[in-house]
Amino acid sequence: CFLHGSDAEEDLVGSLASMSTKERIKVIQKMPKTMRKKREIRNKVLQEITKKAKHHGARPSCCTQCLQGAAVSFRRFGNTLSEHFHQLRVWHKTLKIIGAEFGTSVLSYFVFLTWLLNFNIFSFLINFSFITVPQFLAAEPNNLSFTGLELLTGAGYFQQTVLYYGFYTNATISKIENGPSYNMQLAYIFTVGIYFVICFLILLFSMAKFFSKNFINLQEFSGNASKLLCTWDFNITNDKAVKLKQKNLRTQIKEGLTEVNKEVLNFSAMERVFRIGIHLFAWVASLGTAVAACTGVYFLSINNLELFMKGHRNDLESQAAMLVLPVIVSLLNTLIPFFFSWLGHLEKFQSPGQHIYVTITRNIILKMSIVGILCYYWLNIVATSESQCWETLVGQDIYRLVLVDFIFCLLGSFFGEFLRRIIGTTVCLNLGLPEFDIGRNVLDLIYAQTLTWIGIPFSPLLPGIQMIAFFIVFFVKKVSLMRNCQPPRKVWRTSQMMTSFIFLLFCPSFLGVLSVIGVTVWRLKPSEECGPFRGLSSMYAAVAEWIQVLARQTVSKWVVWIYQNLITSELFFFILSTFVLIVIYLYGQIIQGRKTMTKLLREQIIN
């Protein structure tokens, strides 16, 4: 509320003086007044507090003054540190430029890419800290020679390194006699398990956050005038920042106007039948292509196992033959999406959003089907083969897939955008500059992240490799976008796109990975001669044996009780699921009620 007159200001100063420091700062910050007026009020409040202190004879002690000074210094240090961390985010300025030049649709891809990059940094730090670092203490010397081809194939010298499952010990690591020990079996399975639980929660909360931010669009109810009257940041004084903010605001206004002035086309009966026929043809062609690709990958993977079994030779032919499967898979994942994009242009959707979502759906069917075929091959054929360490073979296969997919991603930017720009500006001028293909590029990220998650039990350092790959991809895509692409011809608003990306990452990608990890941990028998779980009936048997040891110790009975009555109890999970469903239902009703209230308030505003 706005206060007028000296009496009102005295009352305000008195009420602020009676508050705590934190509350007083928050109230002053939220006041709709100029900085000069806020400083005047703050100084009057401090004078009022000093008067009261003198009146009551209460002078703060030396200890209190020291604590207050330390608190102020700590707060300033925290603010400085947060500013420096903000500057370390090298992509912050880049995202602003992309949003201003190309709109929120293209920006959503880069935001998603940086989100995945942070995700992999977190994954790498966890695996490196709790799995790899302890293994260094018990590592044996590597007798294999390094030739350089290992960087492409992942075989040879890398087999005897911490990159793969087979190198890790099954012993309890202890450097001091009768000192603390480190159980590698439990560390391996608990680190991987807890990591996936954290991933599940992060994805769940991220979906909820973006859903509440994007689907419940407050600007829709606040009026488009607020975009003009209340958006400008008057703290901006730098000329470049002002121009960038103007571009960003101009793009947002265009997107908002496009959504308001959206045209609904009316088609005749014959035109509708023709369009339905084109849609059916496009879906049959896309699904048929996906089935054919999966069939080819399956038969190729069967032949690939023979190359694995002969991989003990380190000659050039054997090393090159190992790249056949990943190269073919990456070729299919690179070329077929271009065909899907052409089908989308053939269908002539009314809005760019429909085109992108349909293309993403077709690409997700293709890529997840190929990943499903590969998982079947790894878990049912490689795992039952006569290999000495099938887990390392799977890790090498995934390493090659991730690396070759990264190379093809860079080549896609060159051939799909750079050469397309050269052709469109010199040979065929009617083509013009290409637009950034959001659907294809987003699915490339989801596919790469899915491979990384599947590979974590077989290659714990794979998130580190993917982290470097995503970092390079960000800047390559940024340069390619700025130099080769044009902004979308049809400007449109994509408030829900980030939510859709994370939903696709969660389902089917992450949920599919959980099923693969579950089969690996509970059902497959580990190799007899390598890895931390050698000699056990399954990876999970390490936990069961640990619980049996704890059961004989009186101090650890509570851990055994939790394991038997909560973790392995179907009744507990049934009750937990029922409770979650009830909470979801209640929240759904609350959201529905808020929507009704918002609608009524909007009608009142219009009246």
pLDDT score at 448:
94
Kindly give, in sequence order, each residue whose CB lies less than 8 Å from that of residue 355, ignoring residues fewer than 6 positions away: 344, 345, 347, 349, 439
Who wins on pLDDT, 263 or 459? Answer: 459
Residues 6 or more apart from 447 whose CB is under 8 A from it? 333, 367, 371, 405
pLDDT at 57: 52
Q: Give the DSSP letter of residue 565.
A: I
Cα pseudo-dihedral 309, 158, 120, 382, rounded to 10: 10
- Cα(415)–Cα(255) distance, integer angstroms: 30
Task: Give the C-alpha separation, 36 to 119, whole Å.
Answer: 43
* Residues 282 and 347: beta-carbon distance below 8 Å: yes
pLDDT at 223 over 60: no
Q: For the segment 317-372, what is each residue's pLDDT rounded down to a tens digit?
A: 777 778 888 999 999 998 898 888 888 888 877 777 777 888 888 989 999 999 99
pLDDT at 586 over 60: yes
Tens of pLDDT, residue by residue over 370-415, are 999 999 999 998 888 877 889 998 999 999 999 999 999 988 888 7
pLDDT over 90, % of the chain: 27
**Look-up: residue for tokens 């604590």?**
67
Find which of 280-289, 415-424, 425-434, 549-558 is predicted with most confidence, using mean pLDDT: 280-289
- Helix (H) and strand (E) counts for the chain? 24, 2
Confidence of residue 3 (pLDDT cuts 50, 70, 90): very low
Q: What is the mean pLDDT of residues 75-83?
A: 61
Is the Cβ–Cβ distance between 277 and 267 less than 8 Å? no
Which residue matches tokens 């890419």? 113
What's the rounded mean pLDDT across residues 413-432?
Answer: 79
Q: Which residues pair with 486 in a beta bridge?
A: 435
The helix or strand, by DSSP H or E, that contains position 244, with its residue range, turns out to be: helix 239-260
Element (H, E) at 182: strand 182-183
3-state per-residue secondary structure call for 192-238: HHHHHHHHHHHHHHHHHHHHHHHCCCCHHHHCCHHHHHCCCCCCCCC
Rounded distance, CA 77 to CA 258, Å? Answer: 45
Specify the DSSP element, H or E, that contains 151.
helix 150-153
Whether residue 83 is predicted with pLDDT greater than 60 in this model: the reply is no
Greater confidence, 29 or 466? 466
Of 135, 144, 124, 254, the C-alpha closest to 184 is 135
- 440 with 359: CB under 8 angstroms? yes
| Residue 46 phi, psi dihedral angles, 5° rounding | -65, -40
Interior angle at CA 274, CA 273 and CA 278, nearest 5: 115
> Rounded to the nearest 5 degrees, what angle is found at the Cα of 275, between the Cα atoms of 270 and 281?
125
Report whether 184 contacts 173 (CB < 8 A): yes
The whole model's pTM is what?
A: 0.79
Q: Which of the pair, 326 or 104, is modelled with greater confidence?
A: 326
CB 258 within 8 A of CB 493: yes
What is the per-residue pLDDT for 127?
Answer: 92
- Asked if pLDDT for residue 437 goes beyond 90, the answer is no
Q: Given a cut of 50, is residue 508 above it in pLDDT?
A: yes
Averaged pLDDT, 92-113: 84
Q: For the segment 259-296, what is each residue's pLDDT rounded down to a tens digit?
A: 666 666 677 778 778 888 988 999 999 999 999 999 99
Q: How far is CA 121 from CA 125, 470, 471, in A?
A: 6, 10, 10
Q: Which amino acid would we find at residue 460?
A: P
Query: CA-to-CA distance for 185 and 178, rounded, in angstroms?
Result: 20
CA gyration radius, the chain: 30
Average pLDDT, the chain: 81
Q: What is the percent of the chain where pLDDT is above 70?
A: 82
Q: pLDDT digit string (tens) for 369-382? A: 999 999 999 999 88
Task: Quote the pLDDT of residue 2.
Answer: 44
- State yes or no: pLDDT of 471 exceeds 90: yes
Tokens standing for residue 343: 């089908």
Task: Please give the Cα distance from 210 to 201 (Å, whole number).
Answer: 14
Amino acid 490: pLDDT: 62
What 3-state DSSP class applies to 265? coil
- Over range 213-227, report the average pLDDT: 54
Say how many residues make up the chain.
607
Contact 459, 395 (CB under 8 A): yes
Query: What pLDDT shows up at residue 198?
Result: 92
List CB contacts of 428: < 8 A, sequence separation 6 or more. none
139, 518 in Cβ contact below 8 A?
Answer: no
